[in-house]
């Protein structure tokens, strides 16, 4: 039988983790024949809730789940893990400035970066979900110098899934008939959802979304707005933030990183920028990537028109500012 791998989920007592743990333990990320040992990290006030999650996982009677290790100690949580879902973060409270949120979270991700550096496997794949996800991933990687920077990523897959779903609905086709919709930049309201490279499967051939839709004013207007504000729309309706869809997207992200992407298909991931497409270097920027042998590569050679360039600049500038703020917090 295949040897079990250790996977950590932080924020394990929270609402995203509640859906995510079940999806992982069912084999939807690492495969239906890959046994798992799940490490569940949360903070001490949540230890009781965590126990309830452990009970429920046991009661699911999941054949792949060999062991569950709940803990409030990062040393235990990150020990020998092959994959890390960093979901736990300080939530934004009423009256809290964006700066205060960033400051609280970079400190958390510094500690977790240090723990990954010391205790995780050197080829661990780290997905940061907790916000501000891109800058948290950057901080985490900076404090884990023994692990390659390419092993750290931030989640923009939920935005990609939202965008893909909007395009499929607009075209009146099933979701699987739409591919290569890109999210550029930050997982924030400056993100740039771009259908310009998108493909749609109609009458047995893949065609360009822009040509089939032929509606630039939609693609440059309401489409972008809807995707950028979808999180807020879910909160307004559900009175709680996206959880099931966020968990599904975290699974999609790690699944594709682990298993690769099909030829010609790309997905969006927040990864270390090498300056491709004129973006700032050394920020975690969401790009279209292709994945092979667990290594991502930024898709090159896409045409960026003036409209897209201005959008990339806005989100790139925000990431540069976040990075500088994070560094000043960590230096103070
Ligand atoms: P919850 O507040 O339900 O859960 C967060 C959990 O993290 C809590 O149990 C909390 O105790 C725990 N936590 C806090 N500090 C911790 C630490 N230092 N170590 C371990 N655990 C810690 O939030 P939930 O709805 O699950 O969202 C989690 C994070 O995902 C938030 O930061 C949220 O903003 C972010 N999101 C990111 C998305 C993305 O696309 N990248 C989309 C969904 C979501 O909004």
Looking at the fold, whether 172 and 293 belong to one and the same domain comes out as yes
Q: Exposure pattern of 70-102 as b/e (b: 16+ CB <10 Å)?
A: bbbebeebbbebbbbbbbbbbeeeeeeeeeebb
Nearest CA to ligand 1 atom 10: 11
286 pLDDT exceeds 90? yes
Of 137, 154, 171, the one marking the end of a domain is: 154
User: CA quadruple 224, 88, 317, 198: dihedral positive or negative?
Assistant: negative
In a domain, 286, yes or no: yes
Looking at the fold, whether 72 and 86 belong to one and the same domain comes out as yes
Q: Average the pLDDT over 257-265 and give the result.
A: 97
Looking at the fold, whether 285 and 310 belong to one and the same domain comes out as yes
In a domain, 325, yes or no: no
pTM: 0.97
What is the Cα 179 distance to its own chain's centre? 18
CA distances from 24 to 7, 38, 81, 249 (A): 9, 9, 14, 12
* Cα-to-centroid distance, 86 and ligand 1 (Å): 8
Looking at the fold, whether 114 and 168 belong to one and the same domain comes out as no
State residue 92's pLDDT score: 76
In a domain, 234, yes or no: yes
Task: Give ligand 1 pocket residues (Cβ under 6 A).
Answer: 10-11, 13-17, 41-43, 46, 87-91, 108, 129-131, 133, 155, 158, 187, 241-243, 246
Q: What is the CATH number of the domain that holds 125?
A: 3.40.50.720
Q: Which atom of ligand 1 is nearest to the CA of 128?
A: 41
Q: What is the CATH number of the domain that holds 180?
A: 3.90.110.10
Q: Chain-wide mean pLDDT for the chain? A: 96
Of 109, 131, 154, the one marking the end of a domain is: 154
Mutate to test the pocket of ligand 1, among 88, 127, 157, 187 (most ligand atoms within 8 A of CB): 88
* Structural domain count of the chain: 2
Nearest CA to ligand 1 atom 18: 108
In a domain, 329, yes or no: no
Of 154, 188, 217, the one marking the end of a domain is: 154
Annotated catalytic residues are 187
* DSSP character string of 26-37: TTTTT-TT--EE
Looking at the fold, whether 250 and 122 belong to one and the same domain comes out as no
Nearest CA to ligand 1 atom 38: 129
In a domain, 37, yes or no: yes
Do the annotations mark residue 131 as ligand-binding?
A: yes
Q: Average the pLDDT over 43-53 and give the result.
A: 98
Looking at the fold, whether 46 and 111 belong to one and the same domain comes out as yes
Structure confidence by residue, pLDDT tens digits, 156-174: 999 999 999 999 999 999 9
Backbone region of residue 256 per phi and psi (left: phi > 0; alpha: psi in -120 to 50; beta: other values): alpha
Question: Quick check: helix, strand or coil at residue 315?
Answer: helix
Looking at the fold, whether 202 and 131 belong to one and the same domain comes out as no
Looking at the fold, whether 168 and 300 belong to one and the same domain comes out as yes
Q: Which atom of ligand 1 is nearest to the CA of 88?
A: 7
In a domain, 185, yes or no: yes
Q: Average the pLDDT over 5-26 and give the result.
A: 98
Looking at the fold, whether 20 and 162 belong to one and the same domain comes out as no
* Cα-to-centroid distance, 8 and ligand 1 (Å): 14
In a domain, 332, yes or no: no
Closest CA to 24 of 96, 141, 161, 127: 127
Boundaries of domain holding 40: 5-154
257 pLDDT exceeds 80? yes
* Cα-to-centroid distance, 204 and ligand 1 (Å): 42
Question: Quick check: helix, strand or coil at residue 303?
Answer: coil
Q: Which atom of ligand 1 is nearest to the CA of 157?
A: 40
Euclidean distance between CA atoms 229 and 162, whole angstroms:
10
């Amino acid at each position: 039988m295949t040897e079990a791998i250790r996977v950590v989920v932080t924020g394990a007592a929270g609402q995203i983790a509640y859906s995510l743990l079940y999806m992982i333990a069912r084999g939807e990320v690492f495969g239906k024949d890959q046994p798992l040992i799940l490490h569940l990290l949360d903070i001490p006030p949540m230890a009781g809730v965590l126990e309830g999650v452990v009970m429920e996982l046991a009661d699911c009677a999941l054949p792949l789940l060999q062991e569950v290790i709940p803990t409030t100690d990062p040393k235990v949580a990150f020990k020998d893990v092959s994959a890390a879902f960093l979901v736990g973060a300080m939530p934004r409270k009423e009256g809290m400035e964006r700066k205060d949120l960033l400051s609280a979270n970079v400190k958390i991700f510094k500690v977790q970066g240090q723990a990954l550096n010391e205790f995780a496997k050197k080829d661990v794949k780290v997905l940061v979900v907790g916000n501000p996800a891109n800058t948290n991933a950057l901080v985490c990687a900076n404090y884990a110098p023994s692990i390659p920077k390419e092993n750290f990523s931030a989640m923009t897959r939920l935005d990609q899934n939202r965008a893909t779903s909007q395009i499929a609905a607009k075209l009146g086709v099933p979701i699987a008939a739409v591919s290569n919709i890109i999210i550029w930049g930050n997982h924030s309201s400056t993100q740039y959802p771009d259908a310009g490279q998108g493909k749609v499967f109609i009458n047995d051939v893949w065609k360009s979304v822009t040509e089939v839709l032929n509606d630039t004013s939609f693609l440059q207007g309401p489409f972008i707005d809807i995707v950028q504000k979808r999180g807020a729309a879910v909160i307004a309706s559900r009175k709680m933030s996206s959880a099931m869809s966020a968990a599904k997207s975290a699974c999609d992200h790690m699944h594709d990183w682990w298993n690769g992407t099909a030829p010609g298909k790309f997905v969006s991931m927040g990864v270390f920028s090498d300056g491709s497409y004129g973006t700032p270097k050394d920020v975690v920027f969401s790009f279209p990537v292709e994945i092979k042998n667990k290594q991502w590569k930024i898709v090159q050679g896409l045409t960026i028109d003036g409209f897209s360039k201005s959008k990339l600049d806005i989100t790139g500038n925000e990431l540069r500012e976040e990075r500088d703020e994070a560094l000043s917090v960590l230096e103070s």
